[in-house]
Amino acid sequence: MNQSYGYVRVSSKDQHEVRQIKALQEMNIPDPHIFIDKQSGKDFQRQAYQQLMGKLRKDDILYIKSIDRLGRNYNEIQEQWRILTKEKGIDIVVLDMPILDTRRGKDLIGTFLSDVVLQILSFVAENERNMIRQRQAEGIALAKAKGKKFGRPEKALPEHFADIVQQWEKGDITGVQAARECHMPLSTFRYKAKKWLQK
């Protein structure tokens, strides 16, 4: 007997999946059959999605709220759709786009229409992802131009750092001893020492 499953994805832990889950519950999908990922849609290496793939059997039905919840990479969405419908033999229902319901229109025209709509929506999903990345890059560049610093602030060097570097450079102490004196990893000491010596 065929089973119904639902897949939910949000891009980050800060986003909420409630709206997607509610839509799937309205389709009478039991909670244990709803798989949730909280990560980017750039590829399909997602824990819950891979678990779902292990559960799906021929003639099962997979419900998703919208095509961009499946993913945001044009080629990979196309490939996953093919694997799910052709290799696994399951049906997919995209709730926000009724034409993307593989249970209906299995004749040539129905399949053709679904394929065309899927290609358009996959393209839109990837294009939106690229636009988000571009806006982020522009925002970061603008912030840097205004002097905003990113990442953790650098820790202040110990007061005796210059003395230790000079001792290390002369060979009076080893790098390991110098790093220990400065309370930092050896690689960090070497990096900061070289930077200091170039001043």
What amino acid positions are annotated as catalytic residues?
A: 11
For the residues 42-70, what does the mean pLDDT come to?
A: 91
How many residues does the structure list for the chain?
199
- Between the ranges 32-36, 39-43, 194-198, where is the mean pLDDT highest? 32-36
The structure tokens listed for 197 are 């010596």
User: What was the pLDDT predicted at 105?
Assistant: 67
Alpha helices in the chain (DSSP H): 18-25, 47-55, 67-70, 74-82, 108-145, 161-170, 175-182, 186-197
Distance CA 195, CA 193 (A): 5
User: What was the pLDDT predicted at 9?
Assistant: 93
pLDDT above 90 covers a percentage of the chain that reads 32
Confidence band for 26, pLDDT divided at 50, 70 and 90: very high
CA torsion angle 138 144 149 151 (round to 10): 30
CA 89 from centroid of its chain's CA atoms: 27
Confidence band for 61, pLDDT divided at 50, 70 and 90: very high
- In this structure, of 47-51, 91-95, 105-109, 112-116, the range with the lowest mean pLDDT score is 105-109
**CB distance 99 to 113 below 8 Å:** yes
User: What was the pLDDT predicted at 113?
Assistant: 62
**CB distance 70 to 39 below 8 Å:** no
- DSSP code, position 28: T
User: What was the pLDDT predicted at 150?
Assistant: 67
Confidence band for 56, pLDDT divided at 50, 70 and 90: very high
User: What was the pLDDT predicted at 65?
Assistant: 94
Rg (CA), the chain: 27
User: Is the pLDDT score of 15 beyond 80?
Assistant: no
The angle that helices 186-197 and 161-170 make with each other, rounded to 10 degrees, is 90
User: What was the pLDDT predicted at 109?
Assistant: 58
End-to-end CA distance of the chain: 74
